[in-house]
Amino acid sequence: MTSPLQQKIKITGPSMVTANRTSDGVVIYRTAKQGWSASLSDAAIVRTSDEARALLAEANADDVGAVGAYIAPVELKDGGEIKPGNLRERIRSKGLTIDLLPA
């Protein structure tokens, strides 16, 4: 869970590009259609470092729409389902791991 700020572009497995939406901060994923989606299932999947670099560059070009784009790992399930590849992305995708109220 190294901070993406220090991330070098070198991927070791299937990855996606994610960011937060500028207007409201919502977690978004770069799609294969040069857009953004709030759903991880819409994320464009890259498999090589060159592809990752290209997808990130394209995402970064949208400075108005998105903030802080970075590459993050995913797990691909049989049947093509996309799952977050680490705890940080699981939390970003599924929300808090904690109870907000005492229990």
Partner 1 sequence: MYAYDELDRTLINERVSEFRDQVKRRLSGELTEDEFKMLRLQNGVYLQLHAYMFRVAIPYGTLSSKQLRRLAHVARRYDRGYGHFTTRQNIQFNWIKLSELPDALAELAEVGIHAMQTSGNNMRNVTSDQWAGVAPGEVEDPRIWSEILRQHTTLHPEFSFLPRKFKIAITASEHDRAAIKVHDIGLRLHKNADGETGFEVLVGGGLGRTPFIAKTIKPYVAGRDILSYVEAILRVYNQYGRRDNIYKARIKILVHELGIEKFAREVEEEWKQMGHGALTLDHSVVEEVRSRFSYPPYEKLPHMPDELKQAAHDPLFERWRKNSVAPHKVQGYSIVTLSLKPVGGPPGDATADQMDAVADLADRYSFGEIRVGHEQNLALPHVAKRDLPQLWKALDRIGLATPNVNLVTDIIACPGLDYCSLANARSIPIAQELTRRFANHDTAEMIGRLHINISGCINACGHHHVGHIGILGVEKNGEEFYQITIGGRADENAQMGALIGPAVPYAEVADVIEDIVEAYLALRDRPEELFVDTVKRLGVEPFKERVYATR
Q: What's the token pair of residue 88? A: 């940080």
From 1-9, 32-40, 44-52, 75-83, give the range in contact with partner 1 by CB under 8 A: 1-9
- Subset of residues 19 to 78 that bind partner 1, contact rule: CB under 8 A: 20, 22-27, 63-64, 67-68
In the bound state with partner 1, the residue whose beta carbon lies nearer, of 80 and 95, is: 95
Residue with tokens 């857009």, as numbered in its chain: 35
The DSSP letter of residue 78 is: T
79 touching partner 1, by CB under 8 A:
no
Contacting residues toward partner 1, per CB under 8 A: 1-3, 20, 22-27, 63-64, 67-68, 86-88, 91-92, 95-103
